[in-house]
């Protein structure tokens, strides 16, 4: 009976819990697109939509009122080209959103994703070689610095490079410092796998590769944790203030290993495919949606994540006290 005594009532169960979720530790990913009054649902992600800046501001204001203090912004630009040049335009879609949120939702922490897959006509994370077989690492990094500084000027508190280019974090830290943004943090996508769970995101961000795939620069799911630890440690050495593991649910062993290896906050991204599977199963009546969402997020937190990026952030803020 000793093991069951604290399981008898909801109050006793809450009393002895080691793992707790809080809205303070959740990050809401959002997709901003051109136009006004736009709310374009993402078919593969029920409840998620591309939003114009004005609608995005409304969403963030409501989320902030629920206790969600941090958002991660992805942009769907008006113009795409081979180099993703609109990513560093001062009038770029994310830059406009950052300025609007700074003005209209004071106190909101704004993370700007820094990559080129949404901005390039070919859907890869930077300029490619002549034959299209690979992304040019150093050229991409140079342009990422330009993009990051531009986002910092527009009001980003955190820059999140997601392209998995070698040397990105060090270059961004030097570039941001030189431009007068030493106070802007870097959240490194340190451990990002070439995962099948990104499919719905590519619908949401209009970022599917026009040819090939991203396996030459994202991590192989079959590799052990040692490569993940190397990536995380390298990014911390280069100046990362936080490191991310992505996806979260299928890689809880990696989340736990990274948490034990670095002395900065660890962020786990519950990605679009994880969200879509939970939504599909719950809509078919196969699982209890609220309980499954809570359990999935608790497992990520229990594995060691300090922060969780999740499309369920707003829902979770309402469920946490239940």
Task: Give bridge partners of residue 252 from the DSSP assignment.
Answer: none
Quote the DSSP letter at residue 220: P
Based on the residue annotation, tell me whether 192 is a catalytic residue of this protein: yes
Task: Give bridge partners of residue 281 from the DSSP assignment.
Answer: none
CA distance 172 to 177: 8
Both tokens assigned to 11: 């109050």
C-alpha closest to that of 29 among 309, 266, 294: 309
CA distance 117 to 82: 10
Cα dist from 184 to 1, 107, 115, 151, 260, whole Å: 52, 15, 17, 10, 25
Both tokens assigned to 100: 């609007």
Q: Buried b / exposed e across 256-293, counting CB within 10 Å, b at 16+?
A: bbbbebbebbbbbbbbbbbbbbbbeebeeeebebeebb
Q: Among residues 40, 80, 136, 246, which one is catalytic?
A: 246
Both tokens assigned to 62: 């409501």
CA distance 81 to 84: 5
Based on the residue annotation, tell me whether 318 is a catalytic residue of this protein: no
CA distance 49 to 78: 17
Q: Among residues 80, 110, 192, 301, which one is catalytic?
A: 192
Angle at 79 between CA 74 and CA 82, to 5 degrees: 95
List, by residue number, the catalytic residues.
192, 246
């Amino acid at each position: 009976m000793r093991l069951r005594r604290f399981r008898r009532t909801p109050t006793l169960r809450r009393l002895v819990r080691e793992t707790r979720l809080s809205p303070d530790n959740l990050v809401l990913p959002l997709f901003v697109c051109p136009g006004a009054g736009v709310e374009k649902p993402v078919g593969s992600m029920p409840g998620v939509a591309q939003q114009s800046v004005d609608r995005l501001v409304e969403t963030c204001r409501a989320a902030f009122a629920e206790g969600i203090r941090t958002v991660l912004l992805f942009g769907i630009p008006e113009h795409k080209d081979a180099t993703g040049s609109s990513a560093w335009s001062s009038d770029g879609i994310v830059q406009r959103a950052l300025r609007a949120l700074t003005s209209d939702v004071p106190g909101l922490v704004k993370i700007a994703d820094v990559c080129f897959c949404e901005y390039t006509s070919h859907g890869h994370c930077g300029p490619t070689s002549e034959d299209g077989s690979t992304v040019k690492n150093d050229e991409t990094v140079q342009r990422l610095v330009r993009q990051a500084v531009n986002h910092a000027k527009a009001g980003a508190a955190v820059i999140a490079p997601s392209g998995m280019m070698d040397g990105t974090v060090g270059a961004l830290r030097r570039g941001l410092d030189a431009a007068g943004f030493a106070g802007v943090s870097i959240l490194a996508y340190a451990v990002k796998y070439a995962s099948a769970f990104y499919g719905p995101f590519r619908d949401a961000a209009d970022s599917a590769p026009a040819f090939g795939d991203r396996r030459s620069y994202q991590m192989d799911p079959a590799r052990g944790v040692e490569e993940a630890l190397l990536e995380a440690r390298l990014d911390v050495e280069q100046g990362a203030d936080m490191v991310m593991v992505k996806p979260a649910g299928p890689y809880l062993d990696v989340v736990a290993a990274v948490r034990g290896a670095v002395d900065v906050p660890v962020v786990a991204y519950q990605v679009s495919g994880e969200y879509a599977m939970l939504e599909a199963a719950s809509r078919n009546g196969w699982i209890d949606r609220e309980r499954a969402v809570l359990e999935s997020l608790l497992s990520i937190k229990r594995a060691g994540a300090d922060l969780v990026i999740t499309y369920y952030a707003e829902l979770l803020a309402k469920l946490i006290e239940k």
